[in-house]
Amino acid sequence: MGLAVCAQSPQRSAAKKPHQAQSTSSIAVGVKDDQQTIEITNVEYEATGSGIPGRPSNERLILRKTTRTKEVVDEIGMEASTAIQAWPLGGDLSQKPLYSLTVSGIEPQTIENQVLVVSRGLEEVEWWSVYTLAGGAHLFDTYVPVIHFSIGWPEQELRYVGLEVPPDDVSDTRLRAPNIVGVLTYSSAERVIQEVLLTCDNRELAALLRSYADSTRKVTLDEHRVPAAPGKKATGASTHSITISVSPNYPLLPATYKLTVPIEKDDLDIAHATASAGLHVARWKR
């Protein structure tokens, strides 16, 4: 008991220690080769809640999020980088942070006090990267908005889902295969639980479904309440499944190709997945 008190006392006193920090935001408008350029630096502070997975249960973090952008007026796209630094609440922000994360992107945000999401789509294609809030480790990339939901009953835990659509020059050469459509990721706030690979028998159709310009993707969560047994009170438990829908854009022929994967025992149950003709799903590991 004495050791526990000694270990916790410095954290309590540090959390209550007063301190201040200041950072400067700026904007600079210039002209180069008769074109206007805009450079902006924005700094934002955020105090998280406690209960962050992977951190002490009573610990809160202070985040300093610095985003720098540079764009040419009337041109598509921009240069941008976001730096995220984290300190335990009460720590001196002039000292080395708990962790630092720098990524090409904008609009850093926390989701459910568990993960960090940064928008990576600096040109015409929207996509996002997801990181642990506890330590800034990369979890997954997604080309649809991140889905998050609770599983389990009565204890509930948050889970996160994304769909990666690999570009032609993806570093993992396995994902350059012509039959690849995408990778579905199922993750907790601390680790990727499972990834599955979506493929198509028809290579031309696979290329179409993978195209950023020619197809639109959507990932949805389907939730169904578990009915109560006869004479029993409803528990509130639910079953879940994830559905990927990909539709070619106009003027291509209207069609929607779907894959639905149930979630069973906190895993993607590919054995009971259903898919449009020609689509297949298999376990995948990076």
How much is the pLDDT for 105? 95
Beta bridge partners of 282: 197
Peptide bond into 56 cis (omega under 30): no
- CB-count burial class (<10 Å; 0-12, 13-18, 19+) for 28: exposed
How much is the pLDDT for 7? 34
- Residues 6 or more apart in contact with residue 228 via CB below 8 angstroms: 234, 235
How much is the pLDDT for 9? 37
How much is the pLDDT for 232? 66
How much is the pLDDT for 231? 65
- Domain extents in the chain: 24-106, 137-286
Q: What pLDDT tens digit does each residue of the chain (286 aa) get?
A: 333 333 333 444 345 666 677 778 899 999 878 889 999 999 999 999 999 999 999 999 999 999 999 999 888 888 999 999 999 998 889 999 999 999 999 999 999 999 999 999 988 899 999 999 999 999 999 999 999 999 987 778 999 999 999 999 999 999 999 999 999 999 999 999 999 999 999 999 999 999 999 999 999 999 887 666 666 665 556 789 999 999 999 888 789 999 999 999 999 999 999 999 999 999 999 8
